[in-house]
Amino acid sequence: MRKKLLGALDDRLANLCTLFIVIITVWAVFTRYMLNSPILWVEEILLAAYIWAIMLGAAAAMKRRKHISIDVFFTMLPPKAQRYAQLMNDAISIVVLVVFGWLGLELAMESGGKITPILGVSYIYLNLAIPVGSFWMAIYLVIHMINDMRKQAEGENK
C-alpha cells in the first residue's frame, strides 16, 4: 500500500496542482467578469501552482519514459548499440538534472528573503519546485538505468 502510494505521489501531486489551477482560474474569471470584483492574489497563486505542476508532471513523465525525444538515429542502431546509447543518454541526463537541481536549490535558498508582493509568501516555496522535480527525475532515471542493466545482464546470461 505504501509503495503504491509513494509510486503515484508525483502523479497525484501534479494532478492536484492542475486541478487547483483550473478551479482557481475559473473562480477568478467568474469573480472578475460576473461579480466585477477581481481577486488580487490569483496571479501569485497560479504562478506557484504552474511551477509545481510542471516540475511534478515532468517527474511523472520521466517515471514512464514519456519525455519527447527524437529517435530517428537511435532506431537505426542495432539493438545492443541502442541499449548502450540509452544508458549513455540516461547518464548524461542524470548529470544535467543533478546540476539543474543543485542550481535550483541554490536559487531557492538565496530567494528566502524575497516575498511575493500581495500574499507575502517567500519565493523559496516557489523555487523549491525546481530541485524537487529535478532530483525526482534523476532518481527515476537511476531506477531506469538499474532496471535496464539488469535486463541486459539477464539477456546476456541466457
Give Cα 44 to chain centroid, integer Å: 20
Note the pLDDT of residue 41: 93
pTM, full prediction: 0.88
35 DSSP assignment: S
Q: Please give the Cα distance from 21 to 2 (Å, whole number).
A: 28
Note the pLDDT of residue 70: 82
Domain of 35? Answer: 2-157
Task: Quote the radius of gyration of the chain (alpha carbons, Å).
Answer: 20
Give Cα 151 to chain centroid, integer Å: 26
Give Cα 17 to chain centroid, integer Å: 12
Number of domains in the chain: 1
Of 154, 144, 128, 158, nearest to 55 (Cα)? 128
Note the pLDDT of residue 154: 82
Note the pLDDT of residue 97: 98
Q: What is the mean pLDDT of each run of 10 residues along the chain (158 residues)?
A: 69 95 96 94 95 96 88 88 92 97 96 90 94 96 93 75
Q: Please give the Cα distance from 39 to 66 (Å, whole number).
A: 36
Which residue pairs from 5-9 have beta carbons closer than 8 angstroms and sit at least 24 positions apart in sequence?
none
State the cell numbers at 87.
544508458
